[in-house]
Chains A and B, each alone.
Chain A
Amino acid sequence: MTVNLMIDGLACEAAPGQHVLDVARQNGVEIPTLCHHEALAGQACCRLCVVEIEEASGSRDVVVSCTYPAKEGLKVSTNSEQVRRLRRTVLTLLAERAPLAEGALPAYCQEYGVTGYDLRFTVDKDEKCILCGLCTKACAELGNSAIETTLRGVDKQVAPPFDEPPAACIGCASCAEVCPTGAIACEDADGVRTIWEKEFELLRCEACGKPFATAEELAWLKERLLDTELNLAYCPSCRGKMSLKDLT
Chain B
Amino acid sequence: MSAKRTILVCCDTGCIASGSKAVVTALKEQLALAAAAGVAGAAATDATVEPLVKQTGCHGFCGYGPVVKVMPDDISYYRVKPKDAAAIIESLGGEPVERLLYRDDAGQRVTGREENPFYSSQKKLALRNVGELDPELLDDALSRGVYESLKKALTMTPEEIISQVERSGIRGRGGAGFPAGRKWRIAAGYNNNPKYVILNGDEGDPGAFMDRSMLEGDPHSVLEGVAICAVAVGATDAYLYIRDEYTTALRTMKQAILDAEAAGILGDSVLGSDKQLRVQVVRGGGAFVCGESSAMIASIEGAVGEPRAKYIRSTQEGLWGQPTVLNNVETFINIPLIIANGGDWYAQTGTDKSKGTKVFALVGKIKRSGLIEVPMGTTLREIIFDIGGGIPGNRRFKAIQTGGPSGGCLPDSLLDVPVDFDTLLEYGSMMGSGGMIVMDERTCMVETARYYVEFLARECCGKCVPCREGLRWLLDILTRICEGEGEFADLEILEGICETMTLASRCALGKTAANPVITTLRYFHDEYEEHITHKRCPAGVCRMGVAP
Which stretch from A64-72, A180-188, A208-216 is at the chain B interface? A64-72
- A206 CB, min distance to chain B CBs, angstroms: 42
Bound Cα distance A149, B303 (Å): 12
Interface residues as binary, B35-47 with A (CB distance below 8 Å gives 1, 0 otherwise): 0000000000000
Report yes or no: B504 in contact with A121, Cβ–Cβ below 8 A: no
Q: Which chain B residues (14-40) contact chain A, with CB distance < 8 Å?
A: none
Bound Cα distance A50, B506 (Å): 11
Report yes or no: A47 in contact with B493, Cβ–Cβ below 8 A: no
B469 in the interface (beta carbon within 8 A): yes
Q: Which chain B residues (284-321) contact chain A, with CB distance < 8 Å?
A: 287, 289, 304, 309-311
When distances are taken between beta carbons in the complex, the residues of chain B under 8 Å from A133 are: 463
Interface residues as binary, A57-77 with B (CB distance below 8 Å gives 1, 0 otherwise): 000001110011100000000
Which stretch from B262-270, B329-337, B473-481 is at the chain A interface? B473-481
When distances are taken between beta carbons in the complex, the residues of chain A under 8 Å from B461 are: 152-153, 156
When distances are taken between beta carbons in the complex, the residues of chain A under 8 Å from B287 are: 152
Q: Which chain A residues (172-216) contact chain B, with CB distance < 8 Å?
A: none
Report yes or no: B465 in contact with A154, Cβ–Cβ below 8 A: no
Interface size on B, residues (CB 8 A): 37
When distances are taken between beta carbons in the complex, the residues of chain B under 8 Å from A94 are: 465, 469
When distances are taken between beta carbons in the complex, the residues of chain B under 8 Å from A89 are: 466, 496-497, 499-500
Q: Given the interface contacts A67-B311, A86-B500, does A151 sit within 8 Å of B469 by beta carbon?
A: no
Interface residues as binary, B457-473 with A (CB distance below 8 Å gives 1, 0 otherwise): 11111111110111111
B503 in the interface (beta carbon within 8 A): yes
Q: Which residue of B lies closest to A89 (CB)?
A: B500
- A16 CB, min distance to chain B CBs, angstroms: 13
When distances are taken between beta carbons in the complex, the residues of chain B under 8 Å from A69 are: 311
Bound Cα distance A149, B473 (Å): 21
B505 in the interface (beta carbon within 8 A): yes
A42 in the interface (beta carbon within 8 A): yes
When distances are taken between beta carbons in the complex, the residues of chain A under 8 Å from B470 are: 93
When distances are taken between beta carbons in the complex, the residues of chain B under 8 Å from A164 are: none
B1 in the interface (beta carbon within 8 A): no
Bound Cα distance A90, B469 (Å): 9
Contact of A156 among B309, B462, B475, B477 (CB under 8 A): B462
Bound Cα distance A85, B289 (Å): 27
Report yes or no: B469 in contact with A153, Cβ–Cβ below 8 A: no
Bound Cα distance A97, B470 (Å): 10
Report yes or no: B460 in contact with A153, Cβ–Cβ below 8 A: yes
Report yes or no: B469 in contact with A97, Cβ–Cβ below 8 A: yes
Contact of B462 among A43, A47, A149 (CB under 8 A): A149
- A145 CB, min distance to chain B CBs, angstroms: 12
Bound Cα distance A170, B392 (Å): 65
Report yes or no: B499 in contact with A154, Cβ–Cβ below 8 A: no
When distances are taken between beta carbons in the complex, the residues of chain B under 8 Å from A50 are: 503-504
Among A69, A85, A89, the one with the most B-chain Cβ atoms within 10 Å of its Cβ is: A89
When distances are taken between beta carbons in the complex, the residues of chain A under 8 Å from B472 are: 97, 154
A117 in the interface (beta carbon within 8 A): yes
A126 in the interface (beta carbon within 8 A): no
Report yes or no: B469 in contact with A93, Cβ–Cβ below 8 A: yes
Report yes or no: B289 in contact with A152, Cβ–Cβ below 8 A: yes
B546 in the interface (beta carbon within 8 A): no
Among A90, A93, A130, A154, the one with the most B-chain Cβ atoms within 10 Å of its Cβ is: A154
Bound Cα distance A67, B310 (Å): 6
- B171 CB, min distance to chain A CBs, angstroms: 19
Report yes or no: B497 in contact with A154, Cβ–Cβ below 8 A: no
When distances are taken between beta carbons in the complex, the residues of chain B under 8 Å from A81 are: none
B547 in the interface (beta carbon within 8 A): no
- A58 CB, min distance to chain B CBs, angstroms: 18
Report yes or no: A44 in contact with B473, Cβ–Cβ below 8 A: no
Report yes or no: A46 in contact with B500, Cβ–Cβ below 8 A: no
Bound Cα distance A38, B456 (Å): 32
Bound Cα distance A46, B462 (Å): 11
A155 in the interface (beta carbon within 8 A): yes
When distances are taken between beta carbons in the complex, the residues of chain B under 8 Å from A82 are: 503
Binding site for B on A (CB under 8 A): 42-48, 50, 62-64, 67-69, 82, 85-86, 89-90, 93-94, 96-97, 117-118, 121, 130-131, 133, 149, 151-156
User: Which 5 pairs from chain A and chain B are nearest by CB?
Assistant: A156-B462, A44-B309, A93-B469, A89-B500, A154-B472
Knowing that A89-B466, A93-B500 are A-B contacts, what are 19 other residue pairs whose CB atoms are under 8 Å apart, sorted by A's residue number?
A44-B464, A47-B465, A47-B506, A50-B504, A62-B503, A64-B504, A89-B496, A93-B465, A96-B473, A117-B493, A121-B473, A130-B465, A131-B462, A131-B468, A151-B462, A152-B458, A152-B461, A154-B458, A154-B472
